[in-house]
Amino acid sequence: MATILVVDDERMICDLLRSTFCAHGHEVFTATSGREGMEIFRNRKPRFTLLDLNMPEMDGIEVLQQIRAIDPHAGVIMLTGGATDTLEMRARGLGVTDFLRKGAPLEALVRTMDRAMQRPLKVTEAPATAMAVSEAPAAAPDAPSILVVDDEPQIRRMISQFLTGRGYRVRVAQDGVTALALGAEEMPQFVIVDMYMPGMNGLELTRQLRAKQYEGGVLALTGSRDEELLQGMLDLGSVDVMGKPVDLERLELAVQVGCILAAP
């Protein structure tokens, strides 16, 4: 077991990585800012730090510089999205242990951490290792089917990876029209739907699914509160209405409850 610190300004990524690595027996601390991350680093001395390269106020380079001042050989794995080559070169110069691309399959993140744990804790000056992209383990054919409908790609990806890792069969749609087409192929047992999407909002999509005899659970996601829309979702039998950023543990509980209620 290793002590891991995750520093990322996106709460959902922190929650996802904490859940993933805790499930593999690690102790995980999270921080949503560089300053908070440094405070935890000083107090907890984690074996590895997963550090977002692009953060407001104090970016990953600044945090890495402070970590190196405290421990020149600390294991630091950099999380990158749209980082420039210049930033990545600066990170390499400060001796990152490895790089991880955001949006990679969770199993790839776990494998990278396992590789890092198997080698001595010292900085590497070689170019970052290219991370193999592989699919998450396939769910059992009789596993509950979940449909995630959200126009934000990152939200779809994070929820999909989280629930797939929990053993669910997950499909995703970027809008209501695509969701209805997927429902025509196979009705899911549970739907997670964004309330605000272009073309067809979550309330209208839920109405159309109910009109097609969909009797499964629905969880509504919303970034703001429109009482009329929210009441409409509750009237259509929504299990819960959850604000963004999403609490993944609460989301999983809602899915469990919805699947139980939808069971014949």
Is 134 a domain residue? no
Number of domains in the chain: 2
What's the rounded mean pLDDT across residues 181-194?
A: 93
Rounded Cα distance between 32 and 37, Å, is 7
How confident is the model at residue 146, as a pLDDT? 94
**Are 57 and 157 in the same domain?**
no
**Are 167 and 71 in the same domain?**
no
**Are 53 and 102 in the same domain?**
yes
**Are 172 and 94 in the same domain?**
no
Task: Give the structural domain span for 11.
Answer: 3-118
Asked if the model's pLDDT at residue 101 lies above 70, the reply is yes
How confident is the model at residue 142, as a pLDDT? 78
Is 55 a domain residue? yes
Rounded Cα distance between 205 and 208, Å, is 5
Q: Which residues contact 73 (CB under 8 A, 6 or more apart)?
A: 121, 122, 123
**Are 9 and 59 in the same domain?**
yes
Backbone angles phi, psi at 130, to 5 degrees: -70, 130
Residue pLDDT, tens place only, 214-261: 988 899 998 777 778 778 888 888 888 888 777 888 888 888 888 877
Residue pLDDT, tens place only, 143-161: 889 999 999 888 888 888 8
Is 83 a domain residue? yes
Which of the residue ranges 49-53, 94-98, 133-137 would you say has the lowest mean pLDDT?
133-137
Residue that the structure tokens 């550090």 belong to: 51
**Are 107 and 149 in the same domain?**
no
Report the chain's mean pLDDT, rounded to a whole number: 82
Helix 176-185 and helix 202-211, axial crossing angle in degrees, nearest 10: 20
Band of residue 42 on the pLDDT scale cut at 50, 70, 90: very high
**Are 106 and 161 in the same domain?**
no
Instruction: Mark which of 64, 99, 118 sits at the end of a domain.
Output: 118
Is 174 a domain residue? yes
How confident is the model at residue 105, as a pLDDT? 72
What's the rounded mean pLDDT across residues 15-24?
A: 87
**Are 105 and 149 in the same domain?**
no
Is 234 a domain residue? yes
Q: Give DSSP secondary structure letters for the chain.
A: --EEEEE-S-HHHHHHHHHHHHHTT-EEEEESSHHHHHHHHHHH--SEEEEES--SSS-HHHHHHHHHHH-TT-EEEEEESS--HHHHHHHHHTT-SEEEETT--HHHHHHHHHHHHHS-S----SPPPPPPP-PPPPPPTTSPEEEEE-S-HHHHHHHHHHHHHTT-EEEEESSHHHHHHHHHH---SEEEEES--SSS-HHHHHHHHHHTT--SEEEEEESS--HHHHHHHHHTT-SEEEESSP-HHHHHHHHHHHHHHH--
**Are 97 and 183 in the same domain?**
no
Is 200 a domain residue? yes
CATH number of the domain enclosing 254: 3.40.50.2300
Tokens found for residue 124: 């590497």
**Are 101 and 169 in the same domain?**
no
Instruction: Mark which of 103, 118, 133 sits at the end of a domain.
Output: 118
Is 51 a domain residue? yes
Instruction: Mark which of 65, 99, 118 sits at the end of a domain.
Output: 118
- Please count the other Cβ atoms lying within 10 Å of the Cβ belonging to residue 135: 9
Is 138 a domain residue? no
**Are 217 and 181 in the same domain?**
yes
Rounded Cα distance between 30 and 15, Å, is 8
How confident is the model at residue 83, as a pLDDT? 53
Is the distance from CB of 60 to CB of 35 less than 8 angstroms?
A: no
**Are 38 and 108 in the same domain?**
yes
